[in-house]
A = this chain, B = another copy of it.
Amino acid sequence: MRKLFFILFAFAFATSLIAQTTGKYVLVIHGGAGTILKSQMTPAKEKLYKQGLQNALDAGNKILKDGGTALDAVEAAIKILEDDSLFNAGKGAVFTNEGKNELDASIMDGKTLKAGAVAGVTNVKNPITAARAVMDKSEHVLMAGKGAELFAAANGCTIVEPSYFFTTQRWNDFLDAKKEDSLKALHKDSTTGLLKQPSNHDYKYGTVGAVALDTYGNLAAATSTGGMTDKRYGRIGDSPIIGAGTYADNNTCAISCTGWGEFFIRLVMAKTISDKMEFAHESLKNAADDMIMKKLPALGGDGGLIAVDKEGNFTMSFDTDGMYRGYIKSNGESKVEIYK
């Protein structure tokens, strides 16, 4: 009798668990938008980028498939991209004007509207884990600089020597930017702090991002970046700014942006798309396309974003030549792409 009761109880418990899940999930990632032209790419390099994106999708997919949360899936996908030196986040981050790597990241849980972010960290191997720790283990949302590093170290994040982030490719990009810098300085007052836009826009928009809908109907978003090559004056872009570069709300969508950060901040890009869905009842695609294809260029900016809504509809909008991107769905459908 006692055994039968136990079996019935276990059955009811298992049913209730199943009933709570839809079985349906979606993961979308990006590795930055910019002047990414097929004419400037080699087949070997293209293969490496696609493999990097695929590795991130696989890591997130494994979690979602096993009934994990959107939050864990986006964090896992971002970690892979941070560890891959091809992308401007974690290892492979661009250099600041002072020849250092300063990293920003943010993460948001659409279920609770909890969020965490770090800005300007120089020794946290995976900045996204520090952002997650800020969200889970503090009452704060955003921590910056040395304070953020202390918090990350005290909360189990892997700390590395700043030299860990060095890559020859980014160092050469930095030297190129410096050269342009000094040429332009001959004609312009260098104290004004006007950003020298590098002629190769490619390394301006390096950012990685992930958004997911899990089988429980929860949305999450995460973004990580090394910022702009040759950035100065402690500049912080949109990546660690909740509402600008990252936003997630179970009632609407989850979004991660990449592009010329200042314009994404001024437009409060991610939250505005969520609000267009909530208040103007626009579809995710219409809301995202309006912001990326119209509002953003109207101000003079450019870039892109990935987003998924609570129904599992997703979009990968960009007005640049290319955006490293990919998605995977619970039905097995998956793709990685680079160009327009």
Interface residues of A (CB under 8 A from B): 113-115, 119-120, 134, 137-148, 150-151, 154-155, 191-195, 232-237, 241-244, 247, 261-262, 265-268, 271-272, 275-276, 278-280, 299
Taking CB as reference atom, which chain B residue is nearest A156?
B191
**A265 CB → nearest B CB, Å:** 5
User: Which listed residue, B155, B247, B299, touches A268 by the CB 8 Å rule?
Assistant: B247
Check A268/B268 contact, CB under 8 A, given A144-B145, A279-B280. Answer: yes
Distance in angstroms between the alpha carbons of A4 and B227 in the assembled complex: 60
Residues of B within 8 A of A266 (CB): 113-115, 141, 242
Residues of B within 8 A of A234 (CB): 143-148, 151
Taking CB as reference atom, which chain B residue is nearest A152?
B233
Copies of this chain per assembly? 2
Residues of B within 8 A of A241 (CB): 142, 241-243
The 9 A-B pairs at the shortest CB distance, nearest first, are namely: A147-B234, A243-B268, A279-B279, A275-B275, A147-B233, A279-B280, A139-B195, A138-B193, A268-B271
Q: Do the beta carbons of B193 and A151 come within 8 Å of each other?
A: yes
Distance in angstroms between the alpha carbons of A203 and B116 in the assembled complex: 24
Q: Do the beta carbons of B138 and A192 come within 8 Å of each other?
A: yes
Check A119/B140 contact, CB under 8 A, given A233-B150, A242-B265, A279-B275. Answer: no
Q: Do the beta carbons of B115 and A265 come within 8 Å of each other?
A: yes
Residues of B within 8 A of A278 (CB): 279
Taking CB as reference atom, which chain B residue is nearest A195?
B139
Taking CB as reference atom, which chain B residue is nearest A235?
B140
Residues of B within 8 A of A243 (CB): 241, 243-244, 265, 268, 271
Residues of B within 8 A of A114 (CB): 266
Distance in angstroms between the alpha carbons of A280 and B280 in the assembled complex: 6
Residues of B within 8 A of A148 (CB): 233-234
